[in-house]
Amino acid sequence: MATSREHEYLSNAALRIMESASHSGLFGYTEGQRKLFDFSCDLKKDWSKVVVGQTLWKHGGDGIDKDLRTLLNERDVAAAVYIARHESRLRARFAEVTQSYLDTPMRGRLSRLRVFWVPADFKVGDDRVTESIYASLKEEMTKDLLLHVTLGGLSPRDVLRFSSSRRPGLPVAILSHVKKHGYRSHKHTAMTLDTNLNALKYETERLFIIGFLESESLQGGIYQVTESRNAMLDVCSRLRDYLNGNLGEENKNDEFEHICRVLGITYPSIPVTARLLGKGAEVDIQDPTALLLQHVAQADSDGSVDWSTPYFALPSSSAMSAAH
């Protein structure tokens, strides 16, 4: 079936947004085989998260049932994206169809559905309108897809609570240690990190309470790093690159900066020349971004963290096909 210019633009825009976001160094991007879908990709790190999507533009509300069935029938996907024209009748039909799935085995798969509504009067051809639609879609997809799915649900509140520790560097060191070595005991971990036992115990329990560590026991003990908190370590690693002048060309990375802004981290506001450590610190310790950078700088100075390297994207499937 022939598709409209708007349909093609929006499907390609979704892929462009996810590929562009991978330049942040937080995950890799590989375009996937579309099969029954309008777009598909695989976002990779220590995990692989497949994202598939459909675009609803020209066909009417009757097509929603087929689109959603196609999206929800796919088993091994992390997110099913639906980009649709914003009309009252389409939204009403969408609500009816999703409601009908609540009493079926598909109910559990509804949570992976991500819907982005685009103004009904959108037309390809006006550059200003097209740029505005792309910017709006990018903002929404970053907040509702990339943070919740790719980065495990990391939120501005998480960043604020993580940064609020008054023990510079220790939260980053603990997460890094648990991720790489596991957690045998407070005493063993304190010795390994060469830190005060009481401080280590308090900070570990704090990280457990605020959700950065998880345990099969409600009282904690054998800890693991949660998925979103793994993402926090990756963010800290890129912030270390910024402090060391290695974030990118001229020490800039627009995509990483955009994701950080959504998370409430405004690191460009603090120059790399600012003194972050010691009594002569030149930053406002009430500023969550300054506190986070202080944690990163102290952990880097202590040499206590196994910093992750940026994850570079694999060649897309289309590029590999062309090479052969």
Mean pLDDT value of segment 53-78: 86
Q: Tens digit of pLDDT for each residue in 253-309?
A: 999 999 999 999 999 999 999 999 987 778 787 899 999 999 999 999 999 899 988
Mean pLDDT value of segment 182-206: 92
Spatial neighbors of 104 by CB under 8 A, at least 6 apart, are: none
Find out whether 225 and 179 touch, Cβ atoms under 8 Å: yes
Whether this model's pTM surpasses 0.85: yes
- How high is the pLDDT of residue 132? 95
- How high is the pLDDT of residue 221? 61
- How high is the pLDDT of residue 75? 84
Mean pLDDT value of segment 239-247: 96
Compute φ and ψ for 58, nearest 5 degrees. Answer: -85, -45
pLDDT category, 229, cuts 50, 70, 90?
Answer: confident
For residues 104 and 112, what is the distance between their CA atoms, to the nearest angstrom? 16
Give the strand pairing for 48-56 and 79-86: parallel
Find out whether 169 and 302 touch, Cβ atoms under 8 Å: yes
Mean pLDDT value of segment 178-186: 87
pLDDT category, 24, cuts 50, 70, 90?
Answer: very high
Tokens of 294: 């202080």
Q: Tens digit of pLDDT for each residue in 43-63?
A: 988 888 999 999 998 766 678
DSSP conformational letter for 316: P
Compute φ and ψ for 211, nearest 5 degrees. Answer: 90, 10
With vertex at residue 255, the alpha carbon angle to CA 285 and CA 212, rounded to the nearest 5 degrees, is 50
Tokens of 128: 């200003």
